[in-house]
Amino acid sequence: MTSSAYQQQLQSKIERIENQFSCYQPPQLEVFTSQEQHFRMRAEFRIWHEQDDMFYAMFERSTLDKSKKVIRIDEFPIADLRINQLMPVLLDAFKRIPALGHRLFEVHFLASLKGEMLVTLVYHRPIEPEWEVAAKELQQQLDIKLIGRSRKQKIVLSEEFIIEELQVLDQRYQYKQFESSFTQPNAKVCEKMLQWACEASNGAENDLLELYCGNGNFTLPLSKHFRRVLATEVAKSSVYAAQWNIEQNQIDNIQIARLSAEEFTQAYLGTREFRRLQEAGIDLQSYDFETVFVDPPRAGIDDDTLQLLQSFKRIIYISCNPDTLFENLKCLSQTHRITKFALFDQFPYTHHVECGVLLEKI
């Protein structure tokens, strides 16, 4: 992977996004680049066993007959440098220690800019007590966190999360990131996304509604730019992580509602009452919303929620799928115009791209 290869793929993304969204007459596209190597904080590999050897592997699917070809992975330049440094050390341990390497199926890495590392080992066999002895010794030796998984088994030797630390403008934020939960894979580009979103808030003095808040990734830095924040998230594990993150960062103007976007729309419009809001001490009538922040899943936003968004003065929309963003804008552009437009190269060397738009009421 060369610098020219990176620039070429980035330029093709820029042209695709500019052409796709030209009908909405957005302002000039702001482009936020990625590191060209060592940008991914997550990586997952199969462990391929061949006679007395084993190695990390991925699969390449044929475009002709859909068959899969095993690709041996000795290094993975797009992954965090510490993941690359750890890969051969772990592989050597798997080969030397039968309790660790026997019928090992997959290895999952999760790293943080703060320097923490969580490794999950997935087996096609029951995990025996001797695994735990060997894994604890390896964990201590390498200063990492290890988890063992097998069918109906999950053994956490120390903790099932790592702490990430992100710099946004002049402040650092700490986040608890759980094994197997969603986290932004490109941490440095994530910092750029967070800063862009904060600057797009434009010094709002009212309250912020956030839908799909996850672990509070955007919620924490955005809270500095609003009087109060009400953030919604339906997954219990993400709600727990968000609440820990709020307390850890000593932020006192955020409330979390465990509701989906669709449920919040029903609660906000008064068509349905939710005991979860009452139990959390959340009074929707006490909020003065002018701005809404959304970072929806790839499927985009449902029709009822889109209609709700149309009532807000300002919409900050981060999208991991430009196609569903384009479709959602068919509705939102009836009431709003795009005043900021951004591309974040979260996934270099793939066709995937993240976009950001700031929409203001016409």
217 is in an annotated binding site: yes
160 is catalytic: no
- What's at 244, amino acid-wise? W
295 is in an annotated binding site: yes
Task: Provide the β-strand partners of residue 53.
Answer: 50
Closest residue by Cα to residue 94 from 55, 50, 142, 150: 55
Q: Name the pairing type of β-strands 289-294 and 314-319.
A: parallel
320 is catalytic: yes
Residues 28-54 as b or e (16 or more Cβ within 10 Å = b): eeeebebebbbbbbbbebbbbbeeeee
CB 43 within 8 A of CB 76: yes
Q: Name the pairing type of β-strands 207-211 and 171-178.
A: unpaired
- Please count the residues of the chain: 362
202 is in an annotated binding site: no
Choosing from 116, 213, 354, 355, the catalytic residue is: 354
Residue 271: CA atoms inside 13 Å, Cβ hemisphere, count? Answer: 8
Closest residue by Cα to residue 231 from 245, 241, 242: 242
Choosing from 190, 198, 213, 320, the catalytic residue is: 320
Q: Give the Cα separation of 5 and 131 in Å (integer).
A: 43
Q: Give the Cα separation of 200 and 203 in Å (integer).
A: 8
CB 146 within 8 A of CB 139: yes
Both tokens of 236, joined, read 């219990």
Q: Where do we find the tokens 């341990």? A: 93
Query: Could you give the residue numbers annotated as active site?
Result: 320, 354
- Name the binding residues for S-adenosyl-L-methionine: 184, 212, 217, 233, 295
Q: Which residues are annotated as a binding site?
A: 184, 212, 217, 233, 295
